[in-house]
Amino acid sequence: MQPVDFTTLMALCQSLEADWVPARCETVVQSDTTTLALGLRTLDRRGWLTISWHPQAARLHLGDAPPKGQDTFTFSQQIKHQINQLALVAIAPVAPWERAIDLQFGPRPGDPPQWHLYVEVMGKYSNVILANAQNQIVTAAHQVSDQQSRVRPIQTGDPYVLPPAMLNTLPSLTESQASWQERVTLVPTTLKKMLMQSYGGLSSSLVRSLLSSAHLAPDQPADTITQADWDRLFGVWQRWLTCLEKRDFYPGWAEGGYTVLDWEGAAPVADVHGLLNQYYGREIALQQFERLKNQIQQRLKGVLDKLRLKASTFEQRLDQSAQADQHRQRADLLMAYSHQWQPGMTQMTVDDFETGAPMAIAIDPDKTAIQQAQRLYKQHQKLKRAKAAVSPLLAAVQAELAYLEQVEAALTQTQTYEEPADLEALIDIRHELIQQGYMATPDHRPSDRKASDRKASDRHPSDEGFRQRRTPDGLPVLVGRNNRQNDLLISTVATDYDLWFHTQEIPGSHVLLRLGAGDVASDRDLAYVADLAAYYSRARQSDQVPVIYTQPRHVYKPKGARPGMVIYKQETVIWGQPRRVEPQQVARADR
């Protein structure tokens, strides 16, 4: 993830100073453990200033409104108590080339500041600190004790101290090319390392963009660089410093991330705040997605492995109990032919009652035929009792397996993050597994508290995040991403005119073909929806998959059934071919 460097921070400050100073702070909300939002209002606009001390995504920019919900964080309450309804009167860096910004608050524009909100954007050392007019720390996102840092402890009541000064030489627009080139080439190595080691205030992404603009490679050895290359690179260097001095920035998308400089190949955007809000919103969602997916996958694998082992054990016991009738049959034969028994016999051969064929029956030499028959009768009764006891246990395990394999199939269909609905689907799955007792309630993570945390009854079907497709004839198709959405398709969304599709006896998504009154789906539309149902199932890699479809009124959810589990009748079977569904088209449609 690309960090906010000094250049980006200056671009943000320039924009905030131009458009949002002065502004009144109307409210303070902490939406998660590393993100604060200040509700600002000027004479003509309102907005939310996002302040984050996330170790990989520390930043400061205007962003989306925080999700609705109760703010239970002490840090935000302390800040709200001090600066609420005060005016943001100034924004300034705390020192040259420091990635720390001082947001100053006072009663009215022009008044001396009463409070300083220091935003330190420094990777894993990022912090947000509130200090009073005397620069005494009142609260901090991260308290740092003397034992944790002797260089710069951060404790309530201590004076605010600037971050340690950078030891490297700082870039200067007045430095000559000869001095600059001599400094960079002092310790020859790769070009990127030489620049990073020679000057402070540089980020890895900035250096890569500088080198790319000079048409040089980051790993290019020093001995391969010509004087023309040095001249070209110094020109780019001077251009960067000129932009900083004049505060002239050009936000845009660059290869692998973003930039605030007018480099060749960048795709410009109108607003630096929207640029960062979109970039970090997606990157953080991607992190949450991967973390949550791995948690659910590991938990499902553990539970499914145990259930499959249990089912195998029950099946073995039922196989053994299938021998019960054989024990009774042998016992009956021994009782009928007990007169043929002789002492010391280890086996009796008698004629079977039903087939008349000879049957050899083993006998314990210490027992008579009648005693051996009594033992077989006891074994018969024991196996019959075992069968009666194990059968419902096996049925319960198989039902549980079917349910969890349905959950696993839904998880398999959401392997990569493409859009916010993908993360919402995983959050739904986690909530479902918590409700069903398969996962423990996680530590409080308000960052995961999105629209999917609301009750289904509180949401409109159009907000549910179903996958949406169109048939060749233009009919709309909805595909459930998880069991909650699968249930909603039947309980809330479907009408009597629609058609419901699902793979036959195979875990997969519920698919709904939307039809109006009097509409009739063509054969190619039915085939297309069958292909979709097969594609969004565990049988995706098969050539042909049986798919059933019926009207929604023939689909029922039994009382007490788990999420996503239904029964149906009056179905029609059609063969779906998942390989006819192009993954590229699916990805584009999801986006």
Q: Cis omega (within 30 of 0) on the bond before 112?
A: no
What pairs with residue 105 in β-bridges? 88, 115
pLDDT at position 449 is 43
User: What is the mean pLDDT of the segment spanning 9-14?
Assistant: 94
pLDDT tens digits along 532-575:
999 999 999 999 999 999 999 999 988 888 898 999 999 999 99
pLDDT at position 502 is 96
Q: How confident is the model at residue 445 (pLDDT cuts 50, 70, 90)?
A: very low
What pairs with residue 35 in β-bridges? 32, 52
- Cα-to-chain-centroid distance, residue 426: 6
C-alpha torsion sign, points 510, 513, 517, 523: negative
Fill in the amino acid letter for 456. Answer: A
pLDDT at position 588 is 53
Number of H-type helices and E-type strands within the chain: 13, 22
Alpha carbon distance 408, 301 (integer Å): 9
Q: What is the mean pLDDT of the chain?
A: 88
Of residues 420 and 89, which shows the higher confidence score?
89
Asked if the model's pLDDT at residue 454 lies above 50, the reply is: no
User: What is the mean pLDDT of the segment spanning 395-414?
Assistant: 90
Percentage of the residues of the chain whose pLDDT score is greater than 70? 95
Q: How confident is the model at residue 88 (pLDDT cuts 50, 70, 90)?
A: very high
Nearby residues of 143 by Cβ (< 8 Å), 6 or more positions away? 154, 155, 156
Alpha helices by DSSP H, listed for 413-454, are 420-435
Asked if the model's pLDDT at residue 100 lies above 60, the reply is: yes
pLDDT tens digits along 463-504:
578 999 999 999 999 999 999 999 999 999 999 999 999 999
Alpha carbon distance 246, 478 (integer Å): 53
Using a cut of 0.75, tell me whether the model's pTM lies above it.
yes
Alpha helices by DSSP H, listed for 337-445, are 369-412, 420-435
Alpha carbon distance 524, 63 (integer Å): 45
Whether residue 166 contacts residue 97, with contact meaning beta carbons closer than 8 Å, is answered with yes
3-state secondary structure 183-249: HHCCCCCEHHHHHHHHECCCCHHHHHHHHHHCCCCCCCEHHHCCHHHHHHHHHHHHHHHHHHHHCCC
240-249, 300-309, 443-452, 523-532: least confidently modelled range: 443-452
Total residues found in the chain within this entry: 591
pLDDT at position 586 is 59
Q: How confident is the model at residue 3 (pLDDT cuts 50, 70, 90)?
A: very high
pLDDT at position 275 is 95
pLDDT at position 140 is 95
DSSP 114: S
Q: Which two tokens stand for residue 493?
A: 């969304």
Q: Which two tokens stand for residue 521?
A: 């789906």
**132 in helix, strand or coil?**
strand
Asked if the model's pLDDT at residue 385 lies above 80, the reply is: no
Whether residue 513 contacts residue 529, with contact meaning beta carbons closer than 8 Å, is answered with yes
- Cα-to-chain-centroid distance, residue 367: 68
Asked if the model's pLDDT at residue 452 lies above 50, the reply is: no
Whether residue 472 contacts residue 525, with contact meaning beta carbons closer than 8 Å, is answered with yes
Alpha carbon distance 243, 250 (integer Å): 9
pLDDT tens digits along 289-331:
999 999 999 999 999 999 999 999 888 887 777 677 777 888 8
Whether residue 37 contacts residue 28, with contact meaning beta carbons closer than 8 Å, is answered with yes
What pairs with residue 513 in β-bridges? 477, 499
In the chain the domains, ranked by start, together with CATH numbers, are 6-140 (2.30.310.10), 177-270 (1.10.8.50), 460-590 (no CATH)
Alpha carbon distance 293, 381 (integer Å): 49
Alpha carbon distance 207, 257 (integer Å): 13
Asked if the model's pLDDT at residue 587 lies above 70, the reply is: no
Asked if the model's pLDDT at residue 205 lies above 80, the reply is: yes
pLDDT at position 68 is 85
Tell me phi and psi for residue 314, to 5 degrees.
-65, -40
Q: How confident is the model at residue 455 (pLDDT cuts 50, 70, 90)?
A: very low
Place of tokens 């909805």: 478
Alpha carbon distance 487, 466 (integer Å): 12
User: What is the mean pLDDT of the segment spanning 387-412?
Assistant: 88
pLDDT at position 463 is 54
User: What is the mean pLDDT of the segment spanning 176-198?
Assistant: 92
Asked if the model's pLDDT at residue 157 lies above 50, the reply is: yes
Q: How confident is the model at residue 447 (pLDDT cuts 50, 70, 90)?
A: very low
